[in-house]
């Protein structure tokens, strides 16, 4: 239990170690912990900002969706209107076309009737002449009777 130089030696060691620690050890950890603290703070801040951004984006997307829905409904309305318009137009056109076809057909029928009347008239006059020839048994001058026959034919 005697005091000796060990006491002095330990005191010197104590001050040397203390000096070494404050010079070469302590600052390393102070710096590292401070750097990490800053890093974590930055990270948290970035995370908060990202959350806010996400919220904004979600709100924006909801708005856009709503707008798109309204727009789509408008487009559908317009399309429906246009569709019925086209149908109406087609109906109108079909009516006109129908009438035109009917008119054409009637004109043709009239023409046909006239043509038939014409040929019938010619044939009847021929038959009448032939009949008259037979009745008269003689040769009737065709030229002399032509006027009469024509008259007969036009009367038919």
CB 153 within 8 A of CB 122: yes
Taking CB under 8 A as the criterion, the residue among 21, 50, 102, 120 binding another protein is: 21
**For another protein, which stretch binds (CB under 8 A), given 18-26, 70-78, 89-97, 105-113?**
18-26
Residue burial 100-112, b: 16+ Cβ < 10 Å; e: rest: eeeeeeeeeeeee
Q: How far is the CB of 50 from another protein (least distance, A)?
A: 20
7 binds another protein (CB under 8 A): yes
- Residues 40 and 63: their CA atoms lie apart, in Å, by 35
CB of 25 to another protein, least distance (A): 5
Helix residue ranges per DSSP H, the chain? 5-20, 26-136, 142-155
Q: Report the Cα–Cα distance between both ends of the chain, in Å, rounded.
A: 172
CB nearer to another protein: give 22 or 111: 22
Nearer to another protein, 18 or 151 (CB): 18
Q: Can you give the binding site for another protein, defined by CB under 8 A?
A: 1-11, 13-15, 17-18, 20-22, 24-26, 28-29, 32-33, 35-36, 39
């Amino acid at each position: 239990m005697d005091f000796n130089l060990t006491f002095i030696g330990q005191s010197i060691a104590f001050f040397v170690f203390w000096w070494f620690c404050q010079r070469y050890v302590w600052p390393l950890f102070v710096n590292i912990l401070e750097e990490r603290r800053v890093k974590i703070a930055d990270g948290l801040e970035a995370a908060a900002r990202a959350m806010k951004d996400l919220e904004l984006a979600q709100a924006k997307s909801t708005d856009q969706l709503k707008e798109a829905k309204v727009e789509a409904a408008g487009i559908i309305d317009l399309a429906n209107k246009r569709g019925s318009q086209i149908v109406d137009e087609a109906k109108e056109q079909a009516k006109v076309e129908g009438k035109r076809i009917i008119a054409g057909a009637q004109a043709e029928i009239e023409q046909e009737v006239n043509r038939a009347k014409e040929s019938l008239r010619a044939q009847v006059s021929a038959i009448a002449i032939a009949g008259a020839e037979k009745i008269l048994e003689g040769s009737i001058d065709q030229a002399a009777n032509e006027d009469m026959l024509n008259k007969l034919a036009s009367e038919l």
